[in-house]
Structure 1
Amino acid sequence: MRHAGNPTPEDTQAPVATVATVEPHRHDTIDRAFHATLGSLTGGLSPMALATAWYDWAVHLAGSPAKQAELHEKAVANAARALQAGATCALAPEGRGCAEMAADRRFRSPDWRQYPFNLYAQLFLLTEDWWNAATTGVPGVAPRHEQMTNFAARQTLDMMAPSNFALTNPVVLERTKAERGANLVRGLHNLLEDFARYAEDAPPDTGSYEVGRNLAVTPGEVIHRNRLMELIRYRPVTETVKAEPLLIVPAWIMKYYILDLSAHNSMVRYLVEQGFEVYMVSWLNPGADEADLSMEDYVRLGVLEALDVIGRAVPDQKVHAAGYCLGGTLLSIAAASMARDGDDRLASMTLLAAQVDFTEAGEITLFIDDSQVAFLEDIMAEQGYLGSNQMAGAFQMLRSNDLIWSRTIHDYLLGERGGMNDLMAWNADATRMPARMHSDYLRDLFLDNLLALGRYKVGGSTVSLEDIEIPVFAVGTEKDHVAPWKSVWKINRFADGENTFLLTSGGHNAGIVSEPGHPRRQYRIGAVTGHAEEAEHWLAHHDPVEGSWWPEWTKWLDGRSTGTRPALAETLPALEPAPGRYVFG
């Protein structure tokens, strides 16, 4: 069906080459070069998108006298509270306002109860309160623009918090006094070291952690390689294995070994010890030569080709498949295309912090609109891929207090380098994304939500998530800022088989890497009664259980396996030992 404003194939026939058709191309090249240069300064974020949101907010606020009156009243009330704080903070440091300060992680130290630092903190919190009111509830502002403006205001204020400056941070002043300024000297050294590493585009210092030595060391072999991925098969450690092998599809925005970290928290090692024959996709870290790779290439060369290889290694056996983050989205697309084509090789599907419906994908969607995507496409057109540093800006801003400002205080004002751990070392090992694939992903999934609408195409024909009738095990994490658990939940609205949902404590990464014995971990688990069940209803009817969720998953997989078979030391000729070569790219 043709919609108004959508061209037909006839409308899009290439025009005859004339001067008029050549000139815009030259202008486009200039624009792309300008946007690429600008993107290098903004971390890949589009200033035009933010300016549009700000203008929408400013114009509607200017035309809303009632909202202006409300903000005036709030300003007067907050000014009165500030004057009161000026007296009480000096005379009664533990008085009113300390509860609000203690609730903010930046001001939890007892040193912030001293005058005048308690006054600084309370004045800052009152300012935050006013700007939050000013950037929300303005009649007529588009909801998305309101969220962007509020987010930008919070980021600006976070940058100016008194905790970020040596002269207004009592913890830093006390340390400086005790060390006679040595902490500031160390901090300057740390700052210069980081600047030098950034300028040289050098890899970050991961301390003693090294892939192949104490990371990604579960024994295995690469049994297949193509231009996009290597397939690793891990050696069984039990005499028998579950009849169905397990294929894990990680996200291509990360290195696979988050699921094979150190010996004590490796999910792969745990699964092998539980008697599973595990296969892992290790994605190529793409460069300019891979600019033409599409989302469909990731489906075909990644998931489907991996299943073909496993079928040769273990003939006539169905496969349990698990996908993490974007790997779960990719696996869902592959599963839907397989169901459409009558391909029944999958025994079950597990989605780890993965989304299929992007209508409520969290604050990261603030950075994904037509303006932002066009800006990123211009950047990628110049270099053929999106660099890791060009993606980092948005993700760091989502948790700026934790990822930017707390580190600034710790590294540069206190002069301390935080201790490295395996998860931090993995997080520093960033990857790139091919230009065409990333554009496909942002436009088709984030912007247009074609997969959830049943309009996403694989092999020229649409796929539908409703065609998935195999058992589904979906895992969400409570503090996920990348894939909020209520967004992960939405697979239950589509998949037509037996759906089980598990909600675990932790965030997008630490919640998944939650090995048995990990302290302060809990989860909820239960079947989903139907497509119409709400996430809040499910949450209210499932009590938390202490401990790791991994045993629940392996028990669920075991219950959907058809027995065991003898473990084979080798199924296909090995190309080289794990972790292979793509992980080092």
Structure 2
Amino acid sequence: MSDDRPHPMLQYIINNPEAFAQNLAKTLEQAGKAMAAYIEPREQGKIKTDSTDELTGVVKTLAQVSEYWVSDPQRAIEAQSRLWGGYIELWNSSLKRMMGEPSEPAVATPPRDKRFADPDWENNQFFDFVKQLYLITSKWAEDMVHEAQGLDEHTRHKAEFYVTQIANAISPSNFVLTNPELLRLTMESNGENLVKGMQHLVEDLKSGQGELKIRQTDPSKFKLGDNLGNTPGKVIAQNDVCQVIQYTPTTTEVLKRPLLIVPPWINKFYILDLNPDKSFIKWAVDQGHTVFVISWVNPDEGQAQKSFEHYMKEGILDTLDVIKRATRQEEVNTIGYCVGGTLLAVTLAYMAKTGDERIKTATFFTTQVDFTFAGDLKVFVDEEQISMLEKRMAEHGYLDGSKMSSAFNMLRSNDLIWSYVVNNYLKGKEPFPFDLLYWNSDSTRMPAANHSFYLRNCYLDNKLSKGEMEVAGETLDLSKVTIPIFNLATREDHIAPPKSVFLGSGCFGGPVNYVLAGSGHIAGVVNPPAKNKYQYWTGGDPKGLLENWLKNAEEHPGSWWPYWDEWIRSVDPTTAKARKPGANRVKILEDAPGSYVMKKV
């Protein structure tokens, strides 16, 4: 009985050679436009092309790994033999498969690796061979770093990171001829996908003014104040570093203590107000909290000298004064998110030193105060790199938002860089409209003085946890902070790892309720109860090792938000009549989300 099904390889043959040739010519034409969009701002001096400092740092780091292996001939031969042994095993298994014999793959595909999800990565022998060749080589390179002796911890960490970035970049999934899905699409569309992809590349280079600004979503689908950041409220104060937003109550009674939210300034505050279904701010208002939010300025040269002290005084401390005028209440509950939480912790230590008792509880979302286990961002922090960054920031007085955004994207480069390179430029598809990714791409600048202080005092020298940080003439000691603290970590966080947040819990002098939520830095925080997603763990005092704490922790399904609300009320459940923005003769400046958040980089 004959098999009438077409041969699988026919799907990799050009359908219409003439149309393919025309599209190939169009692709080359668009590639020329992309090259012009890249070169022109550099020829005009708008972009400096000197990137040798970064490349020198990468080469120097990897050279230290190489030095260990090549310094001993026997060691070098063993390393080469291990690599060639893997290749020979792959060749033998491929020959068996070619001859119809059963054979196990030389190396297994990592579970949940989306790059190799297409069935032909397994079913087609050519693509399976290419995939395994890549996996063997990248695993060997990673092992060379892990096993190299004589490296200090920071150098090894950098080498691991650089090797991972290189391996992710050269993955066969990133190239048309070695990716079965891309090759099929190119043949089926006669190369139209490549024409569209090059058009997207030209657009993104022009949008980035010569720098590649990869679109992670469709920005035309979102508008701040319309379908993002649209919880009703008013801007009631502003200064050089922030605006203060008070949200309109939806309940007749509210908790007597207002709630102040201190977001990070690396991105914008509306991560907590993406849309009504996801908005922590709206949810908190609906639970009866009088919510105030700091909306940080997107700084320019005028804020160059704004330091942590200015952000503390003109941000948090001034806002406490605003809240008292607006509500006639001096006692306040607070929330700090990521670096906003670090600033809040600094402020709490300063207030403890100066006898200021206005803040009665503090909640931290994925916040580090001890940076011993600060994760992959520490790759970018050493004296050489900070000095280089400070030199560049001195030119304009700030760090361009795209630089920090690129660093964060590199922490998950397969998900946040290469998947979009494949989708946008090789498949020629438009990115899916996703509010979270719109926010992620809405980066902000950072004042030179502020960012330098943060990197040196926190990541480099870890002074806050040691009791050595000096702000506004005071030496800060977190152990003097004795108010109740709710310390939220997320299990898959690559920015503020749960181990780091757990260790930081021990720095405070009062009761700390450590809570571990499922998912990561954003999704673990922005997890509304109605979605019934993920889970969270609660347990005893955060002492000893996180692993031991987890063994005795209790797992709860769904969102941690209601648990937090119960915790706040357990400290002080006193209620009062709802307060509207503009009460007590407070001047309303404009509607939320305000003008500061609208300013683009």
Give the Cα–Cα distance (whole angstroms) in 1 for the partners of residues 452 and 572 of structure 2. Answer: 38
Match of 1:211 in 2: 224
Matched, 1:298 2:306: no
Instruction: Tell me if structure 1 keeps the 8 A contact 2:465–2:504.
Output: no
The amino acid of 1:506's aligned partner reads: S
Q: 1:82 to 1:278 in 2, by over 3 A?
A: same
Give the Cα–Cα distance (whole angstroms) in 2 for the partners of residues 457 and 93 of structure 1. Answer: 70
Match of 1:270 in 2: 283
Matched, 1:482 2:495: yes
The amino acid of 1:121's aligned partner reads: K
Q: SS in structure 1 opposite 2:134?
A: helix
Matched, 1:146 2:160: no
Give the Cα–Cα distance (whole angstroms) in 1 for the partners of residues 343 and 324 of structure 2. Answer: 20
Query: Deviation string for 1:345-400 (max 9, x for gaps)?
Result: 11111110110111111011011111110111111011110001122332222111
Give the Cα–Cα distance (whole angstroms) in 1 for the partners of residues 188 and 443 of structure 2. Answer: 38
Give the Cα–Cα distance (whole angstroms) in 2 for the partners of residues 310 and 92 of structure 1. Answer: 76
Instruction: Tell me if structure 1 keeps the 8 A contact 2:89–2:106.
Output: no
Match of 1:496 in 2: 509
Match of 1:82 in 2: 90
Query: Deviation string for 1:230-286 (max 9, x for gaps)?
Result: 111111110100011100000111111111111111110000000000000000100
Give the Cα–Cα distance (whole angstroms) in 2 for the partners of residues 280 and 45 of structure 1. Answer: 39
Shift of 1:99: 7.5
The amino acid of 1:580's aligned partner reads: G
Give the Cα–Cα distance (whole angstroms) in 2 for the partners of residues 475 and 430 of structure 1. Answer: 24
Q: 1:98 to 1:280 in 2, by over 3 A?
A: farther
Q: 1:115 to 1:294 in 2, by over 3 A?
A: same
Matched, 1:544 2:555: yes
Alignment of 1:570-581 (within 5 A): 570=581, 571=583, 572-581=586-595
Shift of 1:219: 0.9
Query: Deviation string for 1:164-192 (max 9, x for gaps)?
Result: 11011111122223223222222122122
Give the Cα–Cα distance (whole angstroms) in 2 for the partners of residues 176 and 49 of structure 1. Answer: 38
The amino acid of 1:475's aligned partner reads: L
Matched, 1:364 2:374: no
Matched, 1:420 2:429: no
Shift of 1:340: 1.4
Q: 1:306 to 1:66 in 2, by over 3 A?
A: farther
Query: Deviation string for 1:264-316 (max 9, x for gaps)?
Result: 11110000000000000000100011111111111111111111211222334
Matched, 1:406 2:415: no
Q: SS in structure 2 opposite 1:135?
A: helix
Match of 1:52 in 2: 60
Aligned residues: 547
Shift of 1:404: 1.4
Match of 1:22 in 2: none
Match of 2:26 in 1: none
Match of 1:111 in 2: 120
Shift of 1:508: 1.2
Shift of 1:66: 5.9
Shift of 1:422: 1.3
Q: 1:45 to 1:332 in 2, by over 3 A?
A: farther
Match of 1:567 in 2: 578
Alignment of 1:519-530 (within 5 A): 520-528=533-541
Give the Cα–Cα distance (whole angstroms) in 2 for the partners of residues 504 and 133 of structure 1. Answer: 32
Instruction: Tell me if structure 2 keeps the 8 A contact 1:237–1:272.
Output: yes
Matched, 1:173 2:179: no
Query: Deviation string for 1:30-57 (max 9, x for gaps)?
Result: xxxxxx9997665x97334333323332
Q: After alignment, is 102-111 or 273-282 more displaced? A: 102-111
Q: 1:66 to 1:314 in 2, by over 3 A?
A: farther
Q: SS in structure 1 opposite 2:531?
A: coil
Matched, 1:553 2:564: yes
Give the Cα–Cα distance (whole angstroms) in 2 for the partners of residues 45 and 576 of structure 1. Answer: 45
Alignment of 1:181-192 (within 5 A): 181-192=191-202
Matched, 1:350 2:358: no
Instruction: Tell me if structure 1 keeps the 8 A contact 2:532–2:557.
Output: no
Instruction: Tell me if structure 1 keeps the 8 A contact 2:168–2:414.
Output: yes
Shift of 1:476: 1.0
Give the Cα–Cα distance (whole angstroms) in 2 for the partners of residues 388 and 93 of structure 1. Answer: 55
Q: 1:180 to 1:202 in 2, by over 3 A?
A: closer
Q: 1:45 to 1:217 in 2, by over 3 A?
A: farther
Q: SS in structure 2 opposite 1:425?
A: helix
Instruction: Tell me if structure 1 keeps the 8 A contact 2:332–2:358.
Output: yes
Instruction: Tell me if structure 1 keeps the 8 A contact 2:360–2:483.
Output: yes
Give the Cα–Cα distance (whole angstroms) in 1 for the partners of residues 224 and 92 of structure 2. Answer: 57
Q: 1:554 to 1:581 in 2, by over 3 A?
A: same
Q: 1:88 to 1:243 in 2, by over 3 A?
A: farther
Q: SS in structure 1 opposite 2:432?
A: coil
Q: SS in structure 2 opposite 1:280?
A: strand
Q: 1:40 to 1:577 in 2, by over 3 A?
A: farther
Give the Cα–Cα distance (whole angstroms) in 1 for the partners of residues 76 and 421 of structure 2. Answer: 36
Give the Cα–Cα distance (whole angstroms) in 2 for the partners of residues 357 and 88 of structure 1. Answer: 54
Instruction: Tell me if structure 1 keeps the 8 A contact 2:259–2:290.
Output: yes
Q: After alignment, is 253-262 or 153-162 more displaced? A: 153-162
Matched, 1:455 2:468: yes
Alignment of 1:231-270 (within 5 A): 231-270=244-283
Matched, 1:389 2:402: yes
Instruction: Tell me if structure 1 keeps the 8 A contact 2:120–2:180.
Output: yes
Q: After alignment, is 473-482 or 243-252 more displaced? A: 473-482
Instruction: Tell me if structure 2 keeps the 8 A contact 1:255–1:426.
Output: yes
Instruction: Tell me if structure 1 keeps the 8 A contact 2:107–2:132.
Output: no
Q: 1:202 to 1:147 in 2, by over 3 A?
A: closer
Q: SS in structure 1 opposite 2:108?
A: helix
Instruction: Tell me if structure 2 keeps the 8 A contact 1:45–1:393.
Output: no
Q: 1:64 to 1:545 in 2, by over 3 A?
A: farther
* Structure 1 residue corresponding to 2:76, chosen from 64, 68, 73: 68
Q: Given the two structures, how large is their TM-score scaled by the length of structure 1?
A: 0.89
* Structure 2 residue corresponding to 1:285, chosen from 298, 307, 318: 298
Q: 1:449 to 1:511 in 2, by over 3 A?
A: same
Give the Cα–Cα distance (whole angstroms) in 1 for the partners of residues 355 and 149 of structure 2. Answer: 51
The amino acid of 2:178's aligned partner reads: T
Gaps of 5+ in 1: 1-35
Q: 1:146 to 1:92 in 2, by over 3 A?
A: farther
Query: Deviation string for 1:426-476 (max 9, x for gaps)?
Result: 112110000111111111111111101100012212011111111111111
Q: SS in structure 1 opposite 2:373?
A: coil
Give the Cα–Cα distance (whole angstroms) in 2 for the partners of residues 39 and 242 of structure 1. Answer: 54
Q: SS in structure 1 opposite 2:500?
A: helix
Q: SS in structure 1 opposite 2:220?
A: coil
Match of 1:199 in 2: 209
Q: 1:360 to 1:37 in 2, by over 3 A?
A: farther
Instruction: Tell me if structure 2 keeps the 8 A contact 1:102–1:108.
Output: no
Shift of 1:543: 3.6
Q: 1:555 to 1:70 in 2, by over 3 A?
A: farther
Matched, 1:156 2:166: yes
The amino acid of 1:535's aligned partner reads: L
Q: 1:235 to 1:453 in 2, by over 3 A?
A: same
Give the Cα–Cα distance (whole angstroms) in 2 for the partners of residues 69 and 528 of structure 1. Answer: 52
Instruction: Tell me if structure 1 keeps the 8 A contact 2:107–2:136.
Output: no
Q: SS in structure 1 opposite 2:519?
A: coil
Instruction: Tell me if structure 1 keeps the 8 A contact 2:480–2:509.
Output: yes
* Structure 2 residue corresponding to 1:220, chosen from 233, 242, 250: 233
Q: Given the two structures, how large is their TM-score scaled by the length of structure 2?
A: 0.87
Give the Cα–Cα distance (whole angstroms) in 2 for the partners of residues 523 and 60 of structure 1. Answer: 44
Gaps of 5+ in 2: 1-44
